[in-house]
Amino acid sequence: MDNTFKFLSCLVLSIILPITSGWSACFSGGIADRNPVKVIFETDMGNDIDDALALAMLYRYAEQGKVEIIGISNNKQSENSSKFIDIMNKWYNFPKIPIGTVVKGKRGEVESKSFAKKVVDEYKKDKSVSNSREIDFETKVEESVSLYRQILSAEPDHSVIIISVGFFTNLARLLDSGPDKFSALNGKELVARKVKFLSAMAGNFSTPASTEFNVRVDIPSAKKVYEQWPGIIFSSPFEIGNEILFPASFIEDNLGYTRPNPLVEGYKLYFPMPYDRPTWDLTAALFAIEPERGYFTTSNPGLVRVNEEGYTRFTEDTNGTHFYLMLPDSTAKNRILSRFIELINAN
């Protein structure tokens, strides 16, 4: 069976069987390859520290050979966001991961609150933040859509997972992109051919209804992605990560590292310490890489729609390609948090 048929079979199986059984069977025995999972990380780095925590998880997966991070795309309009990603890449010994950035995008939080800016400013004053590594802030950072098209065109069909933990600006523009020197396919065709699924920290499906930051900042782009994405979307909603708090005590211990860590510096500069922080973005990353481990269950298939005010609504539909994550039982929060700590700590 080729990968396209495997994935479609998994979708059918997930509809016929209880959702956890269907997807577990697919990921544990079929669609989950033993080769590293190819991942593009889409982030609004600097708006909340959970982006940096999620990226640190991906580095650990990469060190273990489970993941190949083939690109990082920044969707916050800020040079400091890209610079902080550069610091992280080089500190964690992944200096060759290409970085893309949005052009004329949204900021989200004001730049004065950005932990990325604060770490970059600290680095300029004291290079011990990155252990005296030479960070070339003048390195060319590509425009994100161009980087996406370049990366996706070179990968096997249905091989790339996109983990989106920020605004949908870059992904919406990717869908609107036309053929170029990298591919004769338009954006939707390229995504349909190359992307396995999109795992997005987005939306809020709780009662009473509330808007969610990643959707609210760029509502038109969120609407476009949920209406036009030509494949599977798993949404990890606000209410999931909001219940699981990353403990400040591990940050205060420098995550077990013996030298200053830019993630730790960013955490300490983001809010006055000590504080425990929700793990919104980490949940989308954990599910994307380890869906077979049962940390989450998923909804029945359906469709997510975003209204003009940024509220998200999920409607069950047997032909739908959208799912949202849920906690399977009362013990799930502790198991998930333990996994987060295991992945982010040095030891």
Q: Are residues 25 and 87 in the same domain?
A: no
What pLDDT does residue 20 have? Answer: 42
Asked whether residue 343 carries a pLDDT value surpassing 70, the answer given is: yes
Q: What average pLDDT score do residues 4-20 get? A: 43
Asked whether residue 15 carries a pLDDT value surpassing 80, the answer given is: no
What is the rounded distance in angstroms from the CA atom of residue 323 to the CA atom of residue 236? 9
What pLDDT does residue 207 have? Answer: 86
CATH number for the domain spanning 154: value is 3.90.245.10
- Which tens digits make up the pLDDT trace of 62-86? 999 999 999 999 999 999 999 999 9
Q: Are residues 176 and 74 in the same domain?
A: yes
pLDDT-derived band of residue 309, with 50, 70 and 90 as boundaries?
Answer: very high
pTM of the model: 0.90
Q: Are residues 128 and 220 in the same domain?
A: yes
Number of domains in the chain: 2
Q: Are residues 21 and 130 in the same domain?
A: no
What is the rounded distance in angstroms from the CA atom of residue 324 to the CA atom of residue 92? 31
What pLDDT does residue 29 have? Answer: 36
Q: Are residues 115 and 64 in the same domain?
A: yes
Range of the domain at 226: 33-344
What pLDDT does residue 175 have? Answer: 98
Q: Are residues 26 and 126 in the same domain?
A: no
Asked whether residue 4 carries a pLDDT value surpassing 60, the answer given is: no
pLDDT-derived band of residue 267, with 50, 70 and 90 as boundaries?
Answer: very high
171 or 139, which is more confident? 171
What is the rounded distance in angstroms from the CA atom of residue 235 to the CA atom of residue 287? 10
302 or 131, which is more confident? 302
Of 47-56, 124-133, 154-163, 311-320, least confident by mean pLDDT is: 124-133
Q: Are residues 184 and 299 in the same domain?
A: yes
Of 20-29, 215-224, 274-283, least confident by mean pLDDT is: 20-29
Q: What average pLDDT score do residues 23-40 get? A: 63
Asked whether residue 138 carries a pLDDT value surpassing 90, the answer given is: no
Asked whether residue 24 carries a pLDDT value surpassing 60, the answer given is: no
Q: What average pLDDT score do residues 335-343 get? A: 98
| Residue 108: other Cβ atoms inside 10 A | 24
Amino acid symbol at 89: N
Tell me if 324 sits within 8 A of 205, measured CB to CB. yes
What pLDDT does residue 203 have? Answer: 97
Q: What angle do CA 291, 161, 17 make, to 5 degrees?
A: 40
Q: Are residues 19 and 115 in the same domain?
A: no
Tell me if 171 sits within 8 A of 162, measured CB to CB. yes
Q: Are residues 70 and 147 in the same domain?
A: yes
The length of the chain in residues reads: 347
Asked whether residue 11 carries a pLDDT value surpassing 70, the answer given is: no
- Residues 112-139 as b or e (16 or more Cβ within 10 Å = b): eebbbbbbbebbeeeeebbeeeebeeee
Q: Are residues 245 and 321 in the same domain?
A: yes
- Which tens digits make up the pLDDT trace of 205-251? 998 889 999 999 999 999 999 999 999 999 999 999 999 999 999 99
What pLDDT does residue 10 have? Answer: 59
What pLDDT does residue 125 have? Answer: 80
Q: Are residues 4 and 125 in the same domain?
A: no
Q: Are residues 74 and 220 in the same domain?
A: yes
Q: What average pLDDT score do residues 284-291 get? A: 98
pLDDT-derived band of residue 182, with 50, 70 and 90 as boundaries?
Answer: very high
